[in-house]
């Protein structure tokens, strides 16, 4: 997988014409409707890569983490402009996680395709909006650009995922799982939330380019 191929696909979705403004950054469904109404192009920072893997038990977090440790370095070595957030949510993504895992990647730099789009489609004096969601999540940092995130926004809290709760106990009991909480890897910090959060390095590169 090459990040520039994905970015080129994204800009190819837009007619190659002038836009009064371009928004760059975090995903937000409500804002995307607003961009469409105002004729503003949106270039996302985060992309979802569904990756097939063996049929793991969704409630066992360790196999997902170990699988990511094995395969993530190839992705990051080939794409120095990306930061990987490997997210596993045994609650909301229980069905899909039986056959795949979620690699969410965040651009740390604009890259050639995004820069060319701005040069060709944003007139002098046009506006670049930086869209920054400040939502963070307690994660396990594997390397400089690799984070593992258990759980996601919606439904359960971070403490529910990491430490268990009555709701989690009932949930696992329903699926005949022998434990009363998930065996979560110990978080060692906070990072931008995988799906929504903004990685600030992109802001610096947008300002440099502007």
pLDDT for 94-136, tens place per residue? 888 888 888 999 999 999 999 999 999 999 999 999 999 999 9
Give the list of residues 6+ apart from residue 172 with CB closer than 8 angstroms, or none. 59, 179, 180, 181, 182
Q: Can you give the residue range of the structural domain that contains 26?
A: 3-209
pLDDT for 45-96, tens place per residue? 999 999 988 888 888 889 899 999 999 999 999 999 999 999 999 998 888 8
Main-chain phi, psi angles of 203, to 5 degrees: -60, -45
Tell me the β-bridge partners of 139.
189
Q: Which pLDDT score, from 0 to 100, does residue 1 have?
A: 87
Percent of the chain with pLDDT over 90: 80
Regarding pTM above 0.85, the answer is: yes
Domain total for the chain? 1
CA 151 – CA 36 distance, rounded (Å): 31
CA 10 – CA 42 distance, rounded (Å): 9
Q: Which pLDDT score, from 0 to 100, does residue 56 have?
A: 86
């Amino acid at each position: 997988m090459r990040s520039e191929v994905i970015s080129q696909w994204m800009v190819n979705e837009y007619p190659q014409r002038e836009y009064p403004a371009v928004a760059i950054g975090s995903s937000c469904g409500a804002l995307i409707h607003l961009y469409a109404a105002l004729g503003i192009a949106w270039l996302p920072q985060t992309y979802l890569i569904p990756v097939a893997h063996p049929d793991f038990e969704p409630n066992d977090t360790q196999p997902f983490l170990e699988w990511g440790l094995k395969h993530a370095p190839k992705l990051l070595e080939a794409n120095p402009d990306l930061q990987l957030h490997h997210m596993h949510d045994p609650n909301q993504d229980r069905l899909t996680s039986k056959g795949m895992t979620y690699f969410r990647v965040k651009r740390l730099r604009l890259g050639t395709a995004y820069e060319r789009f701005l040069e060709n489609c944003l007139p002098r004096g046009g506006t670049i909006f930086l869209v920054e969601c400040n939502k963070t999540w307690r994660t396990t940092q594997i390397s400089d650009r690799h984070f593992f995130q258990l759980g996601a926004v919606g439904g359960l809290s971070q403490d529910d995922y990491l430490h268990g709760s009555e709701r989690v106990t009932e949930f696992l009991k329903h699926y005949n799982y022998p434990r009363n909480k998930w065996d979560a890897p110990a978080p060692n910090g906070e990072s931008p939330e995988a799906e929504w959060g903004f990685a600030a390095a992109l802001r610096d590169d947008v300002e440099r380019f502007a």
